[in-house]
Structure 1
Amino acid sequence: MVTYDGGEGVLLGLACGDALGEPVEGWSADRIAAEYGTLTEFVDGRVPPGGLTDDTEQALRLARSLVECGGFDPDDASRRFIEWFEGGAVGIGGLTRRVLRRIVDGDDWERASRESWENSSEGRNAGNGSVMRCAPIAVAYAHDFDELTTASRTSSKLTHYDPRCVYGCELLNRAIAGYLRDEPRPLEDALSALPEEAPDELIAAVEPVPDEIDPETLSPTGYVVDTLQVATYHALTADDAESAVVNAVNGGGDADTIGAVAGAIAGARFGASALPDRWVDELDRGDDLRRLGRELADLDT
């Protein structure tokens, strides 16, 4: 079973990255440096310091669905995303919005997601909106890679049907699960487990991480391939959980989501106890995140 420290670490790390990065989402690294030097504390943005946006909000709903259903139920998870959407979704991405709107208007989730993807142009069809929320699955199925694979892929297809997103979720969750299992080479093992049909572009971006990447070439965009490359690089090159999140966020670009993905990996790698108390204490719904992290760990057998 996953340790409670690991389960909590994934959710709390994700939320810390979201909260730290949200106020500077869309900023360049130079602008962040000019304003803050190095941003290490939660500050005001669209939400108060320590507040959560779509990254954590969707992860929370996925986590609750897993716990309350005793496993992954795509219909239940989709229903919870709709409730969030209709209640006022802070920071929601364009593709997620289009898919959820179609579901509200009467489509089933599979048709809404597939056709929204088919009708989206390149550049609007493979964002990071599913990889940012998928980490609860890694906790629930850390020792069951068959279920992890199915749930990861399907969870992406709820809103992001592009193969780069689908296999990106699988890759990320296999890596997180590897850290939770205390495996020696989680990312390498996750890459080697991908099937032949996994997109070459995704593999080519992540395979060189971390040792063969020049950090000056990192592109912190909302494109799922870029997000995974940047987030895994910072999560794997940092010596501690705080540095992983800080470095990811201060690179700019889609700072909240890259911070969230890096934070989830770092939380699995170092545990909740390694996250700064000053961050965790200030997080909105920190107690819920801790509880859900433990309950997800209890699902893993």
Structure 2
Amino acid sequence: MKEQFLNKLIFQDRILASLLLAGMGDALGAPTEQWTIEEIFKKYGGLVLDFDIPPEDTFAGANAGKRGEVTDDASQMYYLARAMIAADGALDQADWVACLLDWASNSPKASFMGPSTAGIVKALQEGSDTALVGVIGTSRRKMTSVGTTNGAAMRVAPAGLIYPGNIDAACRQALITCLPSHDTNVAISAACSVAAAVSQALVSNNLHDVINGAIEGAHIGEQLASEHARIVAGPQYIARLEMALSIAAEATNDYSFLTRMERMVGNSVLAAESVPAALGVVAYSKGDALRTIALSASIGNDTDSIATMAGSIVGALVGTEKLPQNLIQEFKQANKADFDLDKLALALAAIAGRNHG
């Protein structure tokens, strides 16, 4: 009983740290989204280390985003956490669709919605066939870009948070949150990789274990996709992940690391680019919480999504004491009207403790 109680306390702290660092990364990357690495380094004199007001040439700025606020990335993650709590850790497809529609209708961040999610939400709201979204001509084949973005991976962390150390279960829960919007092998492999890394981080103090968990999750995701989704042409997640990890291992300074990652792996909204880049940042930052989100916010292009994913993994590994304390209060203040992360962490920890026990 005492060990179970201690596990719950540890899980609660690490879950809270995951939610916090993901959100802080999202907010840190919002003002630099779509910028180049060169533009970011010129404005900030190096890595982005503090919150800023998103300018008008970013999605957050164009939608009146404020300093320290999350975007659609962490917002969807927090809505998913709420839905998992409401389902007592047994989220099914109907629960997830209801959660997605709730977010789309009620979250002020839904105006940032990504392309894969937007098409499916529109079909669900209209009651039309989601299988026809992105279909080419009269065939059942879809445009390759449909369902291959990073929307599922950016929100998926709660699937790992409720299954500490159980990578297979985390991946199966992640699969549910991929459908119907991200029904491809690339998106599912990427989402399972993030969920698996988060799951492993909750029960480990070793970054190497977490990276191995991400690799294992990617392979499980590929298998799940072969059974439940579409196999698409183009770059594959696992191949890009291997490349990202090699770049992280070889890098000698921050600027060369970021530019090589951009040029060789990519940093766009595509799951085969931004998700491996996020894992590359996790490996390169060596578990340092502030550097994780600072590097992610400085990598250019889809900075907020990359920072959300990388932050969720490293937060789960290091716990709240190792988070950038100077950013926490401002972040909580900026988002308190929408989310109570302490309350979410407490409820998720209860489910995690039960699943781990």
TM-score, reference length from structure 2: 0.77
Match of 1:115 in 2: 132
Q: Does 1:31 align with 2:39?
A: yes
Match of 1:54 in 2: 72
Query: For 1:137-216, what aligned pairs fall within 5 Å after superposition?
Result: 137-182=159-204, 184=206, 185-192=209-216, 194-195=219-220, 197=223, 201-213=236-248, 215=257, 216=259
Q: What amino acid is the match of 2:202? A: L
Return the structure number with greater relative CO, CA threshold 8 A, min gap 6: 1
Query: For 1:1-301, what aligned pairs fall within 5 Å after superposition?
Result: 1=7, 3-37=11-45, 38-45=47-54, 46=61, 47-71=65-89, 72-87=91-106, 88=108, 89-107=110-128, 111-112=129-130, 114-116=131-133, 118-119=135-136, 120-182=142-204, 184=206, 185-192=209-216, 194-195=219-220, 197=223, 201-213=236-248, 215=257, 216-218=259-261, 219-239=266-286, 240-283=288-331, 284-285=334-335, 288-300=340-352, 301=355
Mapped partners of 1:41, 1:103: distance in 2: 38
Secondary structure, counterpart of 1:222 in structure 2:
coil
Work out which of the two has the higher radius of gyration on C-alpha atoms and give 1 or 2.
Answer: 2
Displacement after TM superposition at 1:43 (Å): 1.0
Displacement after TM superposition at 1:123 (Å): 3.5
8 Å contact from structure 1 (residues 24, 32) kept in 2: yes
Deviations 1:72-129 (A, max 9, x none): 233222212212212341311112111001100014xxx52x4325555233441111
Identity score, percent: 23
Displacement after TM superposition at 1:211 (Å): 4.3
Deviations 1:42-89 (A, max 9, x none): 111221111111101111110001111101233222212212212341
Number of aligned positions between the proteins = 297
Q: Which structure 2 segments of 5+ residues have no match?
A: 1-6, 55-60, 137-141, 226-230, 252-256
Query: What's the C-alpha RMSD, in Å, of the aligned pairs?
Result: 2.2
**Greater helix share, 1 or 2?**
2
Mapped partners of 1:115, 1:183: distance in 2: 45
Displacement after TM superposition at 1:221 (Å): 1.2
- Given the superposition, is the C-alpha separation of residues 142 and 40 from structure 1 closer, same or farther in structure 2, using an over 3 Å criterion? same
Mapped partners of 2:188, 2:134: distance in 1: 12
Displacement after TM superposition at 1:228 (Å): 1.6
